[in-house]
Amino acid sequence: LKGWYNTVLGLPSEGGDERLSRRDILACFSEMIHPLEYDSNWHYFLGADMGNLCHITVARSRNGTEMQVVLMEVVGSSAYVDRLLVLKDTYHIDLGFSDRFPLTETVNRVRELSENTFIPLQYQHSKGAEKFRYHDDELGNLSHASAQRTWHLDQIVTKVRNQKVTFAGYGGQRELIIEHLRDMVREAKDEEVPVWKKLNGKDHYFHSLGYCHQAMLQFFDGKNSSMNSNTT
């Protein structure tokens, strides 16, 4: 059936694990459309998908099991550095990740200014890639992190499906967020690593949410998961 969708209709199959459903995503939205105020009883995390427009997600958690999004917003790349430093102070953010490319110079600057609170993250695609690890530069200083892409995105999709994510602080972006989270389809081929592929290129909050979730995982995990590899 999946092959019939792909080859005959030229459409992605949406059954099983292939795509987040609108129902699953809607179940995660709260009625709190305004950003939530800082509460010292929570730990705070940030994820950002980089480009001319940068999509930012700030979320909080008490134990790493459930994640409550407190803010989702878009800023221009020229305002990104200043905005992240403001958010760091406002929410006392513990850890954040953003994609290392294409604005490598910008995210490296943020890493330095934030004293390694915000770290560039690079996707790895191969089957044997480590699930997650930190990388140092030639001087032994932290440079960036890497994550196996499929494993990384699978984690946040599972959280959404299990309603372990709650959306607040999204303003008038409900439909935009739904569109972005449904723009990615998981495709699997025999003996190859499944790959999350975009449909229309409007997937920015999908990745932003994924980076934020990965920051939460690494904070509560407390260790470098470099011995683990993706084999499914």
CB 47 within 8 A of CB 214: yes
Is the per-residue pLDDT at 88 higher than 70? yes
pLDDT (tens digit per residue) in 207-231: 999 999 999 999 998 654 433 333 3
pLDDT (tens digit per residue) in 149-174: 999 999 999 999 999 999 999 999 99
pTM of the predicted structure, to 2 decimals: 0.89
Q: How far is CA 172 from CA 2, 58, 71, 72, in A?
A: 35, 16, 12, 10
pLDDT at 78: 97
Q: What's the residue count for the chain?
A: 232
CB 47 within 8 A of CB 215: yes
> What secondary structure does DSSP assign to 8-63, as a single string?
II-----STTSS--HHHHHTTB-S--SPPPP-TTSEEEEEEE-SSEEEEEEEEESS
Q: What is the largest CA-CA distance in the chain?
A: 54
pLDDT at 229: 34
> CA 144, CA 111: separation in Å to the nearest integer?
9
The token pair at 154 is 């699978």
